[in-house]
Chain A
Amino acid sequence: MTGLLGDAPVSKKLQQENDRHNPVMVLAVLAFLVVYIYLFTYASKSLDLPMPQDLSESLGLYVDHVFDVDRNVDSSLYVPFTWVFIKNDDERLVLFLGAGFAFLLVYFIPFEHKQRSLVFSSLIIIGVLYGMEGVSGLLCAHSLVYLILHPVSSFRLWIAFLPGFFGFWTFDPYMLLGSNVLIQSLLAGSISVLIYRYGILRLLAFSPAAKILRVVVVQSALITVFIGALIEGWLTGPWKLALGVLLFFWHWERLFMYHIDYQDGKIPKNISLMTYLSVFLTPGQISNWNWGATIGQGYAYTVNNFLCEDKNKLVMSGLQLWTVSLGYLIFGSWIHAGLLDFFNDQGILVYGRIEHMSSDFVFGSNLGPATVLLTTLLALMKWTFSWGGVLHFKVGLWRVCGYKIAPYFNYPWLSTNLVTLWSRFTFHYREFLVRAFYYPVFFKFFKGHTHLRIFTATMAAACFGNLIWGHMTEAMFYSNIESNVLLLSLKQWPYFVLLGLGITVSEFWLLHKKKTSRRPWTPDKYIGWDVLSAYVTLQYFALIHVFFYTTPEASLSDNFRLFLTGFGF
């Protein structure tokens, strides 16, 4: 947890000591990737091997809800927003092969090139999966941010060529096929050098303007969402983002964290572009790019956790996460469907999705508390398996590549209060909300009024920051940048208010409860309380999702009635 407060970077000497090779670990990583390739892609078909479902059935194991129609394992692990390949299976194959390539490169390359190698391999994987427009969009946007945050860089005028050069390809990649493309892109690069040299650098020399510019680049995603919604609502049609820009916007929360580190003086002003890029471009982010977008956090966390302990120990911990990930990815849907069938066989109506329950409720179905409680709880469970499977794969890949990254998802069903659940369910995202919203409020307002201080700080983070910075923008990136999407996402506000209130109450309870040395889940006479606390915590969290996964026809009043039905009213 060293990087939590941005400790001094781990010494180079220690990192070099941690860089010892172990062939067994290398083979283990490759073996795991072969298993992933076998289970989740078409590779076995191409190699004339039995498909996973055939293999399972030949062993006498006939299970539903595990395999998809092409007889390999259905999976939530995918590469979003790409249309280079037709099938998810092909994209996954590229991802797993890319992960293997990145691992071998970072494992064996001399220490001083390791983090650079991860940038290089990430760009190659992104290039194959998203094409030139993905790579160029990321490089265009990130080089621009770098130039504004680090204008003292030695090669700044050379680097200033990149936003124009790559920007030219970002917005019209098919121009690459034209004959004059090189000349045009060189010209665009030269223009961006001139703009930087005679415009931006002069603004950056003027302190208030520099501050505004930095805020504009860091908050570019939110600004784009608001401006885009206004333009769509008042003037024209939906604003379609260039793919590379969209990918960059999914780095937004981490850029926010980077900026907090920057403001706190934790980042050397003259770091190289490659060091900057190594914070953002890592293979661990690529699968489900838009899930767990905060993994890795900002500069301090990423830099301080690279090879801070023996790399083979890190690899081993990554493989452990991959093992758990496989369990979630393979059996999640099977367990969920089994429980659904079980309850429905007992005569208790349980829906597979909260939206379906919401729709039936709005159109007059009379639902009981058991239906509401079980539907929300099982929906949370299904989402939890998918979320856990994907997030463990992603964090596992970070670890395999040498980063000691804390688990994003950490057995949330062991949470005995909402504060713990918030941390166990989305650790890095919670850290983002705490650093970006909780701390600024907590350390500035209502000092001397403990409860008011905790309440405002928690609502700033869990409610306001979570809704506006975390959820609203993402909802629009998922759909379109349209005013009605913005309004629909804001309609989910009760979920965020109830989450914030629940966490606040938990904090008060933790603050005032009698302190004991007993830890939750110690097998003693109090363990029954742990079970009850865990159920109440999970059920509350599940139930407030009736405001989140609601049918469009439902009014606020409908959602509240459904919520209260869960309590038996």
Chain B
Amino acid sequence: MATARAERLVNLVLCLLSTRQYLTAERIRAIVPGYADASTDEAFFRMFERDKTELRDLGVPLETGRSGAFDAVDGYRIARRDYELGDVDLEPDEAAAVALAARLWDSPQLTGAAHGALIKLRAAGVDVDQDVHVPVEPKVRATEPAFPPLLAAVQEGRVVEFDYRRPVPVEVRKRTVEPWGVVAWRGRWYLVGHDRDRDAPRCFRLSRIVGEVRAVGRPGAVARPDDVDLLSFVARTQRDPQTTATAKLWVAKGRGQGVRRRARPLGEREHDGVPGDVLEIELRFPDSAAGWIAGFGEDVVVLEPETLAKTVREKLVGALRGAGVKV
């Protein structure tokens, strides 16, 4: 920012903080240094409008009003109680937590916002040491292109529209959603909100949003219900199936380490003329287990149950077809 403009804005803030009366634009033009540079009324008002927008964007609470019945036009002031950050007195362990929290984000929007918060806390006299060392360091990334517009829409309370791809059955459909929040859960981002097309609360994976997110309608149109807990809403809809299955596998000697490390040996056995071991394994996600076992190729053979053996066989035949072999 040019020095002249920065200086004018700091003076404007100091001036409006120090007054109890509302100051009209004309009065401000007369007393705050820098505005005298505007040669015409039009140039001044353009300059003043830009400055007001800049301050409001930074969160400076500009009040408008009239000090008395005789004022012909609205004036401006900054109420000190709305401007100033309250007292924050953090113990060293609390300040360490704040430093770690500010480092959590790996996303430009949130990193910038956390940095802004740290600067203000430091200005309030809190010592936040960013080099604090902790044994476990969590990081949250937000790289999906849909993240910034959705976060902005949530914070502005605006309705959004986007195309959404459903995996099963495969379809891409336009959705209109009143966004309540964006949620990171187990390494993925979700949008939670009221789905207008289905007239029900729904959860959308950001990675399945196709193309652009469009904010429609006016800010403040979306009201988030008070009683909704975003995190548990996502946790509920994305719950893992709680099924496990036991399988018996043959694994060639010295092979299939990925299977062996999770299994219990039952004894040695030769299969198809190859020495190996029979193992028992608890499969936590039986649906995806067939693909995982098929990946070990001829090193692992399913002995039981028959359904799993059949699914693995189908995967292998499918893989051949996928490689262009006629089966």
Q: Do A and B come from one complex?
A: no
Residues of B within 8 A of A (CB): none
